[in-house]
């Protein structure tokens, strides 16, 4: 069995998509459709930067999706591969869930681009710049990372500060968990991480605190946007982040996307459950972030990243 997987924020980089667009009319068509839907030159920003503008959440999210979908569409249209014939499940990490839904034809490309633009803007609006933060806790499982997050909250409180938020946001793999919340609490958690058993803790270069209760205003915005969006049943089930379970019902998918904004990204569990369901092959489109995670979660699984035309040629032959 096979799963197509799609990366989340952090996989963006200046130059992304340029070689694909130069090599394939199909890829250029995808980027052009996204540019038209958003009314901006996103491909130019992806290709040439500046990096600080690409890093903005409202740009990074649709850019990552566009790059992944352009890669997939080249496989489908230029190599004649039908997703429904070759794939049993799709899944994506955080914003990658929207890419997965678009790949499985539950969302149109233009709709996906507009939803992700709004999602990025709503997430940034939810927490003032400088007030939120996220950190990667390395060499710790989810239980230990949760204890480190709580220690950060307690430390601020003991120092006479207010009750703040700091919680596990992404359970990525057995040794990489991300925490999120108020900057003061996250920074205290990072300072305590080694003492509490982690190998290392790193503040991440993001401008808000995703996947925690501080994102509640963004969740409400997305609830309204998703209620109006044309979301159909996918060609294959989508393993949703919030439940680490396969979903095909459009109403349940809408609900999962709303809950995902404030909820835990259960990537490790999602991969484990796909493996339990019989998936042996994981193919990541447009990035090389998730495939190493898959190998750490399920060492016996096959996991590859597909980014270049050479990668696509090799995959088309293998399929």
Which residues are marked as active site?
A: 94, 211
Give CA–CA dist 47/45, Å, rounded: 5
Strands 166-173 and 245-247: unpaired
Neighbouring-strand partners of residue 302:
281
CA dihedral for 43, 48, 50, 55, sign (positive or negative): positive
Q: E strands within the chain? A: 2-6, 89-92, 132-138, 166-173, 176-182, 200-203, 238-240, 245-247, 281-285, 302-306
Under a CB-based contact definition with an 8 Å cutoff, are residues 38 and 111 in contact?
no
- CA 178 to chain CA mean position, Å: 13
The single residue listed with the structure tokens 């193919």 is 283
Under a CB-based contact definition with an 8 Å cutoff, are residues 39 and 32 in contact?
no
Under a CB-based contact definition with an 8 Å cutoff, are residues 189 and 151 in contact?
yes
DSSP letter string, 183-237:
HHHHHHHHHHTTTTT-SEEEE-S-SS--SSGGGHHHHHHHHHHHHHS-----SS-
**Geometric angle at alpha carbon 269, from 295 and 145, rounded to 5°:** 90
Under a CB-based contact definition with an 8 Å cutoff, are residues 91 and 294 in contact?
no
Under a CB-based contact definition with an 8 Å cutoff, are residues 315 and 306 in contact?
yes
Helix, strand, or coil (residue 313): helix
Neighbouring-strand partners of residue 202:
136
């Amino acid at each position: 069995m096979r799963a197509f997987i799609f990366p989340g924020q952090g996989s963006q980089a200046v130059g992304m998509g340029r070689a694909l667009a130069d090599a394939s009319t199909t890829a250029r068509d995808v980027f052009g459709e996204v540019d038209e839907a958003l009314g901006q030159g996103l491909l130019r920003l992806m290709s040439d930067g500046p990096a600080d503008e690409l890093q903005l959440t409202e740009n990074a999210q649709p850019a990552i999706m566009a790059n992944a979908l352009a890669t997939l569409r080249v496989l489908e249209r230029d190599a004649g591969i039908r997703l429904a014939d070759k794939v049993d499940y799709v899944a994506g990490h955080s914003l990658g869930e929207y890419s997965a839904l678009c790949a499985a034809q539950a969302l149109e490309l233009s709709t996906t681009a507009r939803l992700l633009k709004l999602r990025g803007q709503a997430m940034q609006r939810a927490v003032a710049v400088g007030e939120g933060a996220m950190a990667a806790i390395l060499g710790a499982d989810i239980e230990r990372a949760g204890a480190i997050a709580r220690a950060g909250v307690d430390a601020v409180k003991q120092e006479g500060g207010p009750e703040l938020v700091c919680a596990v946001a992404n359970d990525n793999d057995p040794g990489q968990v991300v925490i999120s919340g108020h900057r003061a609490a996250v920074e205290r958690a990072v300072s305590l991480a080694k003492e509490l058993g982690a190998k290392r803790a790193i503040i991440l270069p993001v401008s808000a605190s995703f996947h925690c209760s501080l994102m509640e205003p963004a969740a409400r915005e997305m609830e309204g946007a998703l209620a109006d969006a044309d979301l159909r049943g996918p060609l294959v089930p989508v393993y949703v982040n919030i439940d680490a379970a396969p979903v095909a019902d459009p109403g349940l998918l809408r609900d999962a996307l709303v809950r995902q904004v404030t909820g835990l990204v259960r990537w490790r569990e999602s991969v484990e459950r796909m493996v339990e369901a019989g998936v042996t092959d994981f193919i990541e489109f447009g990035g090389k972030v998730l495939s190493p995670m898959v190998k750490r979660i399920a060492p016996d699984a096959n996991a590859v990243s597909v980014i270049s035309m050479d990668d696509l040629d090799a995959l088309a032959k293998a399929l």
